[in-house]
Every structure is written in structure tokens, then in C-alpha cells.
Amino acid sequence: MNVLVSSAGRRGALIRLIRETVQPRGGCVYAVDAAPWSSACRLADEWRVVPPFSDANFFDSIVSFCKQRDIRLIVPTHDCELPVYAKLRPLFHELGIHVACSGSATIQIARNKHETAKFLRQAGLPSPAEIDLDRALRGDTTLPYPLVVKPSDGSGSRGVQIVTDAEELTFYLRRTTNPIVQQCAEGREYTTNLFVNRSHRCLVAVPHWRVETRGGEVSKCMTVRHPSLIDLASRLADALPDPYGALCFQAFVSSDGQAQVIEINARFGGGYPIAHQAGANFVQMLIDDVEGREVSQPDWSDGLAMTRWDDAVFWHPQQETAAPALTAGESNLRRVA
């Protein structure tokens, strides 16, 4: 099966893992991005520059590429494009193209931190308490510091600040767009990658300890068979309105084993490669689902460690095929062979 990675950006590891999965059966991995300097695109078998997901020509551009290369599975990777793909998913499906993303309601819950906090609270899932913004802005002296201030529509830990007093709280509230304030979760930080089938059931959950992060993405981690996180993954899948495919959530686990969920991502997480290498091949699970095979529940290896390093790709832009003016599906920049 041929697979397309959308908004590939820097997701080079994901491109490689998809290729390892599809290549033995004659499949290829393709990539698209609105930016011609995407590093991950250059690791794909072929790639194209397409209009941004907000552009009226986005859908036609993606469909054109899929038809030309017999692509049957699209893997969206960027938070901002998920609502677009969820809305267009029925149109893709009519054309025989499967989009690996959750439904609009689940994506909205994951995209907005206020909605995430509300959902977790109503579902009875453990999470840090949200602090009323009016109370925070009044400088209430009884607030339970330390607190976390972050953009409600942010991602990748961008703009997250831990504040320890009223002065810091006021400072960051004034400088944060659409802020949310929560109590600070304590303990060891984990991400749990989970795969949810069409019946909205969690088939596998792989927690990993986030030993070190850089720019919001894990750089050192280790898989941990943590019962409370695996249980939380199942409860999360049951409670979300329309989850599907690869999701992940972040949580802090205290010294007494109590977990608190701080974030949900309705997509492949940046730390997915460790789950894949541990034995939970979500890509193969998606392909099995698209091709009508039973999706099995894989076992995975506990205690597998991962560390990352910087890598690079090199090319001569002047040697790439020149792209015509962007029209629906006609951008044809390709990687150098």
C-alpha cells in the first residue's frame, strides 16, 4: 500500500518507519508540505509542495497526488490540519482514500486545552484542576502555587510557564494568548501512545518515560509497562466521542503511582518511534484496517530505551524540478535522486 504523510515537516523518523512497513510489499511512502525546505519530505520516495491546509485548493491538490500515485492512506501529522482532514474525510473516503485521523469532536477536545480540561473533568479522568481566570487575574492570594500558564490552543510545550507567585502569574497572563491556568502536576512525566480501532476501543497502549525533552519533543525516553497509564488509555478511548487510529496523551505520575493527564494529541506523537520499535506497529495496524484484515493486538517490549541526535539531508535546490505556479495538485517539486 502507498501511504502519504501530510505536513511532513521534520517527521523523518516517521517517514522511515512507514517505509520499513510498506516497502517489503511493494509500497511507497510519499510526503507533502507547504514548505519546500521540509527535511522529512526528502526522505520520502517522492514529495510535493502543496497549498496550506487553509487554502481552497488544498483538497484538490492532495486528491490529485493520491490519484497519480495510487495512494490509499493519508497520515496527517500537524495539529492545525487535523480539523480540515476530519471534515474532508468522507469526501476522501468516497474516492477510496482512507484518512487516519479521529473525528471532529475528538480533535476539538485535543486541540483546545480548555476543552481538554473540561472533557477530562466530566469523564472522571484524573487531571490537574483548572484555575478560574478571573480569580487568577484578581491576584487571589489563596491560589495553590506553583501553577502552570499556557496557551489554550498551543502545542509542543510552546509557551508553557510554571509560576510560583502572583507577580509571575500576572506577568505571564498578560503575555499569553488565550491562556489557561492549572495546578502544577507533580511526579515523573510520561507519554502513552495508543491505537484505537473503528469501534473506539484501545487495542494497545505503550507508555514511555520522558527522560529528556527538547523543544517539547522527547529526545530520551524508555518504555514502561505502567498499569495505571495503560488503564487510563482504555478509559480515555472509551470516553472520547470519536477517536480513531494513533493518539497519545501526556501524564505525570506521582511517587504513590497516581497519574494526572495534562494533554491529549489526536495524531501520531513525536515519541511514536519508540512504541513502533518496541513492537506496536501502528502503521501496519492502520494498513490492516484499510485492507479489511483483522487488526491484532501486538505485544511490546518493556524497558526499551531511545535517544535521539541531530541529522541532516543535503540537496541542490537548483537541480530540483522547477514547480509551476501553484494550482490544484500541480506542484511537482521532487527530491533529488
Does CATH number 3.30.420.40 belong to domain 129-183? no
Find residue 270's DSSP bridge partners.
none
Please answer whether residues 166 and 149 qualify as being in contact, where contact means their C-beta atoms are separated by less than 8 angstroms: no
Beta carbons within 8 Å of 59's beta carbon, 6+ residues apart:
88, 91
Residue 330 has pLDDT above 60, yes or no: no
Residue 138 pLDDT grade (very low, low, confident, very high; cuts 50, 70, 90): confident
Domain ranges in the chain with CATH number 3.30.1490.20? 129-183
CATH class of 2-101+312-319: alpha beta
Q: In the predicted model, what is the mean pLDDT of residues 59-64?
A: 97
Rounded-to-integer distance, Cα 77 and Cα 100, Å = 10
Q: In the predicted model, what is the mean pLDDT of residues 56-65?
A: 97
Classify burial at 174, counting beta carbons within 10 Å of its beta carbon; exposed 0-12, middle 13-18, buried 19 or more: exposed
Q: In the predicted model, what is the mean pLDDT of residues 21-44?
A: 96
Domain ranges in the chain with CATH number 3.40.50.20? 2-101+312-319
Residue 324 has pLDDT above 60, yes or no: no
Q: Can you give the pLDDT at residue 139?
A: 74
Domain ranges in the chain with CATH number 3.30.470.20? 106-110+186-303
- The sign one gets for the Cα dihedral 47, 53, 57, 60 is positive
- β 202-214/188-196 pair status: antiparallel
Look at the pTM and tell me if it is higher than 0.85.
yes
Give the CATH architecture of domain 106-110+186-303.
Answer: 2-Layer Sandwich (3.30)
Average pLDDT over the chain, rounded to an integer: 92
